[in-house]
Amino acid sequence: MQTPFSTPRAAYVHVPFCAHRCGYCDFTVIAGRDDLAGDYLHALELELAALGHPREVDTLFVGGGTPTQLALPELERLLALLQRWLPLSAAGEFSIEANPARFERATADTLRTHGVNRVSLGVQSFSAPLLRTLERDHDAETVARAVDALRGRIDNFGFDLIYGVPEQSLDGWQASLQQAVNLQPAHISTYGLTYEKGTAFWTRRQQQTLTPVDDASEAAMYSTAMDWLPAHGFDQYELSNFARPGRESRHNAVYWQGLPYYGFGPGAAAYVDGTRRTNHRSVTTWLKRVLSGESGVGASETLSTEERAREALWLGLRRTCGVDRSVFAERFEVALDSLAGESLPALIAAGWIADDGRSIRLTRPGRLLADKVAAEFL
Ligand code: SF4
């Protein structure tokens, strides 16, 4: 059994380039600086080479930013680097995030040729006005074209969708879910729009030029996804994630189980030997440091045994299969019930957590109040 101290079998690689920074985005992104792609690839190669020798992984996830913002020759160079330093085990999962805009057949061919077998498209919505609000540069037709490019090349593709967008109605959200399902993806992730400090949306909300949907409407949209997607063949396997049987993300399961992973690129986190190291979020600082032979790590935190277990308990509860008491005790060397203390019986009595004796899991009301449950455990 893997534990937090096992050798990682998963890796995350961050590609920070985007055409434009969307108003709600607080990821590690650099917009309009595609000229830095060569330096980025050079720095990434240096970080990968610090592994000393290639490390086989079972799951590899290339996220962003927009990995497909790289020009094809640069994308090929990136993928070849990953194949060299992080070879994928037989039947491994190699995922990449992509923007539907400018996603061509040649892009899908390049990905497939280099072993990518799962693509997550940042669709967000099928409504033109909402996509404009979100400052996205695609429309429903663009998504259909990207799906055409993937079909027959990489059939394991999924969509990210956002609900709770200003002016979005419940009917509009359901229409987006319907349009998503019509395109027959393998996976759908649904995220409530958040207003993170430092983003343009946060400022606009402060200035009251952007009005969030109310909490009850947002909860109704989440509830609709939890009813509607399973009724259309997509099982909910995590708070935000729905998949056709067998198409669940194996990479994200590593995070949710508190297992170790490598991380490369600006802003990327790695979790190795119980220590979490996060690279500098400023792309230019990360570049400058790595290219001058210094470490790109900006922050490092070694979790105590209890912190590790508490975090894993909460992350595990995000999954609809919940947390198995015996697996948890073996992996984290502490009994779930003694760690959770008084909180657990109280949450069970409140109807937010279900307990079948072997494992605990969030109930449906518990999923709607997940942040409050997390606060009890962290
Ligand atoms: S495309 Fe995605 S990563 Fe890039 S700015 Fe927009 S939300 Fe952020």
Predicted confidence (pLDDT) per residue in 317-343, tens digit: 999 999 999 999 999 999 999 999 999
Residue 2's pLDDT band (cuts 50, 70, 90): confident
Taking the CA of residue 18 as reference, the ligand 1 atom at the shortest distance is 4
Taking the CA of residue 122 as reference, the ligand 1 atom at the shortest distance is 2
| C-alpha distances out from residue 54 to 88, 174, 342, Å | 10, 45, 46
User: String of b and e for 220-243 (b: at least 16 CB within 10 Å)?
Assistant: ebbebbbebbeeeebebbbbbbbb
Query: Is the pLDDT confidence value at 378 over 80?
Result: no
If you average pLDDT over residues 280-297, what whole number do you get? Answer: 98
pLDDT at 375: 85
Query: Is the pLDDT confidence value at 357 over 80?
Result: yes
Question: How far does the centroid of ligand 1 lie from the alpha carbon of residue 274, in Å?
Answer: 30
Closest C-alpha to ligand 1, atom 6: 22
Percent of the chain predicted with pLDDT > 70: 100
Percent of the chain predicted with pLDDT > 90: 94
What lines the ligand 1 site, CB under 6 Å?
A: 18, 21-22, 25, 27, 29, 64-66, 99, 122
Question: How far does the centroid of ligand 1 lie from the alpha carbon of residue 18, in Å?
Answer: 6
User: Hey, what are 175's tokens?
Assistant: 């229409």
Sheet holding 297-302, edge to edge: 269-272, 275-279, 297-302
Closest C-alpha to ligand 1, atom 2: 65
Which pLDDT tens digit goes with each residue over 109-168? 999 999 999 999 999 999 999 999 999 989 999 999 999 999 999 999 999 999 999 999
Question: How far does the centroid of ligand 1 lie from the alpha carbon of residue 13, in Å?
Answer: 16
Pairing of strands 297-302, 10-15: unpaired
Closest C-alpha to ligand 1, atom 5: 21
From 15, 24, 29, the mutation candidate for ligand 1 (largest count of ligand atoms within 8 A of CB) is 29
If you average pLDDT over residues 87-91, what whole number do you get? Answer: 97
Taking the CA of residue 21 as reference, the ligand 1 atom at the shortest distance is 5
Rounded to whole angstroms, the Cα distance separating 9 from 56 reads 7
pLDDT at 126: 97
Closest C-alpha to ligand 1, atom 7: 25
pLDDT at 294: 97
Angle between helix 325-332 and helix 305-317 axes, rounded to 10 deg: 150
Taking the CA of residue 25 as reference, the ligand 1 atom at the shortest distance is 8
Rounded to whole angstroms, the Cα distance separating 294 from 286 reads 9
From 17, 22, 133, 281, the mutation candidate for ligand 1 (largest count of ligand atoms within 8 A of CB) is 22
Closest C-alpha to ligand 1, atom 3: 65
If you average pLDDT over residues 206-232, what whole number do you get? Answer: 97
Taking the CA of residue 124 as reference, the ligand 1 atom at the shortest distance is 7
For CATH 3.20.20.70, the residue range(s) in the chain are: 10-256
User: Hey, what are 98's tokens?
Assistant: 């992509």
User: Hey, what are 22's tokens?
Assistant: 């969307």
CATH architecture of 10-256: Alpha-Beta Barrel (3.20)
Question: How far does the centroid of ligand 1 lie from the alpha carbon of residue 281, in Å?
Answer: 15
Question: How far does the centroid of ligand 1 lie from the alpha carbon of residue 309, in Å?
Answer: 32
Question: How far does the centroid of ligand 1 lie from the alpha carbon of residue 236, in Å?
Answer: 25
pLDDT at 42: 98
Which pLDDT tens digit goes with each residue over 188-216? 999 999 999 999 999 999 999 999 999 99
Question: Which of 12, 13, 52, 85 lies closest to 261 in space, CA to CA?
Answer: 12
Rg over CA atoms, the chain: 21
